[in-house]
Structure 1
Amino acid sequence: MRVMFELGQYLLVAATLLVIVALLANIVGFSRSHEHAREHAYAGASPAGHGGVLLDERPQPDIDLGAGAVAPPGLVWYSSRLVWIALALLTGSLLARMIVTGHGPFTNQHEFATSFAWGILVAYVWFEWRYRVRTLSLAVLPVAAGILLYALAQPTEVKPLIPALQNNLLLTVHIATAVLAYGGAAVSSAAAVLYLVRPHVRWRGLPGRELLDEIGYRGAIFAYPMLTAMIVLGAIWADVAWGSYWSWDPKETASLVTWLIYSAYLHARVVRDWRGDKAAWLLVIGFGAVLFTFFGNHFFGGMHAYG
């Protein structure tokens, strides 16, 4: 088991390094693309007669993203593959940890942070594949890298489960819904951040605001039912572990506030077709509430302060 434990830690470190390298490669790749676009923006008409477009005259393996967006090739493509590899390594790390402990990754901040980062990468990979918008990485990967570094900084020792955590199946499903919800919220917030900066930057690979608004909305739609399931399953678990469905524990309350923020966003979007900067800011605030809830173990106290 010692070998399996060390393997899990090595995989976690490797995944963290790959996410950081992918982020740096994306920054360099998009920066080069931006400089290239500036140099050729008004270079005259191409052989096809498209004067003034932000494209090289030579054939480029760019990907059309719709809404006038183009994903640059080269480093950005390779960084995308690095993220996929990092996700595979992180999955292996979590599986190794589960084999060692005999239960899901939910007993401390190290395990939950690793799972949180896994959820972010899962959501990012899916949205990148679905919409082919690699520019999302500029806002998603810093969060994933930060969470992974935080996980590495936490105590990693394996301890016996306390009584409140011994309902493995129910608690594992509760944490799984939280991880997926947080991942969707991270991607939704990333799209909202890019939406807000879109009028102020001219990155070649940055899609139009309409597409970013759509991704933010789809991310929220994915996160919201997971948040709902997380709260419901958490209440059932709380009744089993503590004899009460709801105790207004600080972390319970923070989770409820987070759910209400996303409820307000989706209500405004669906009922009143609310879009624009205010809607984007609401998604950013929602993910801020997610982070506040996650890091609450350090200062909330209460019944969730076991991590």
Structure 2
Amino acid sequence: MMQQLLFGILIAYVAGAILYFVGNKTENTQVLKFASIAVAIGGVFNLLLLLYRWNLTGRPPLSSGSDFLLCFSFVTIVMYMVYELKSKDKKAGGVIMVFAFLFILSIFVLMANQLNNAGPVMPALKSPWLTVHVMTAVLAYAAFALAAGFSARNIIKKNDTTNGEKIYHIVAWGFAMLSLSIVLGAIWAEQIWGSYWSWDPKETWALITWIIYALYLHLHRNRNWQGKRANIIVLAGFILVLFTFFGVNFLMSGMHSYA
């Protein structure tokens, strides 16, 4: 059941990406309509899989890498669909759907064994701080993915600057969520390990990511740091977000390795 739902999500998201690219290239509104439908179907499958995992394990689907990616992709899609419905702008849909497709594909490639794991979790993951810490991280990452999609679209379109303020507000909201996630994680760490900060690889790279986005927000009003430079910083921040998750989890040992 879970494998079938995951495969359905993958197909829907890649179909959505292709239809968005084709529809925007040809300016065909009917194709773009089908793209939105494909994304909505994928989002429903994504939600069903999260609910299935919750029912199977008896706990919120937040304690493994595959759970996080399912939440990450779902929240990213929901944020994008809300934006699309409000603005009627579908120009960045293809890039954002490529992100969502790659998140789901990475579960197939790297974490397929986690989907069927419904056993008990280690004591550190039973803390109520886990839910608020991980959910704020999901919200932050999804906002950064959305901003990166718009920035990538700007670069593809030769540094279109028409949505610079929109990207700024999305990053600012994501930055607030990331800051909250770091604070909540520190409280959780103190309760579990007796220290608010231990320079664990995940903590260190989360801090580096925070600094990059803080730099972007600080430089936003500077005319010399708008347009191409601003888009590059947003994309660099999102690359750090991905490294903080994938690179640290799979390449570095630390207290977060269980994720």
Give matches, 1:1-307, under 5 Å: 6=1, 8-33=2-27, 72-153=28-109, 154=111, 155=113, 156=115, 157-167=117-127, 169-199=128-158, 209-270=160-221, 272=222, 274-295=225-246, 296-307=248-259
TM-aligned CA deviation for residue 15 of structure 1: 1.8
The code of the aligned residue for 1:23 comes to A
The structure with more helix, counted as a fraction of residues? 2
SS in 2 for 1:114: helix
Tell me how far 1:121 sits from its aligned partner: 1.0
Question: For the Cα contact (< 8 Å) 1:165–1:171, is it kept in 2?
Answer: yes
CA contact (8 A) 1:119 1:182 kept: no
Amino acid at match of 2:158: P
Q: Which amino acid aligns with 1:222?
A: W
Summarize deviations over 1:180-234 as a string: whole Å, max 9, x none.
111110111111111122138xxxxxxxx23331232122022111101110111
Give the drift of 1:278.
0.9
Deviation at 1:99, TM superposition (A): 1.4
Give distance in 2, aligned partners of 1:177 and 1:9: 27
How many Å apart are 1:131 and its aligned residue?
2.5
TM-score, normalised relative to structure 2: 0.92
Contact 1:188 1:218 in 2 (8 A): no
Which stretches of structure 1, 4 residues or more, deviate above 4 A after TM superposition?
none
RMSD (Å), alpha carbons: 1.6
Conserved 8 A contact 1:110-1:152: no
Alpha-carbon distance between aligned partners in 1 of 2:166 and 2:88, rounded to the nearest angstrom: 11
Contact kept, 8 Å, 1:111 with 1:151, in 2: the verdict is no
Deviation at 1:114, TM superposition (A): 1.2
Q: Match of 1:216, as an amino acid?
A: I
Contact 2:17/2:95, CA 8 A, preserved across alignment: no
C-alpha separation between the residues in 1 aligned to 2:178 and 2:228?
A: 24
- Give the 3-state SS of the residue equivalent to 1:134 in structure 2: coil
Q: Distance in 1 between matches of 2:194 and 2:4?
A: 40
Whole-Å separation in 2 of the counterparts to 1:246 and 1:218: 29
| Preserved CA contact (<8 Å) 2:16 2:94 | no
3-state DSSP of counterpart to 2:241 = helix
Shift of 1:282: 0.5
What are the ranges of 5 or more consecutive residues in structure 2 without an aligned counterpart? none
**Contact 1:105/1:112 (<8 A) preserved:** yes
Computing the radius of gyration from Cα coordinates, the structure with the larger value is 1
Unaligned runs of 5+ in 1: 1-5, 34-71, 201-208
Mapped partners of 1:179, 1:112: distance in 2: 7
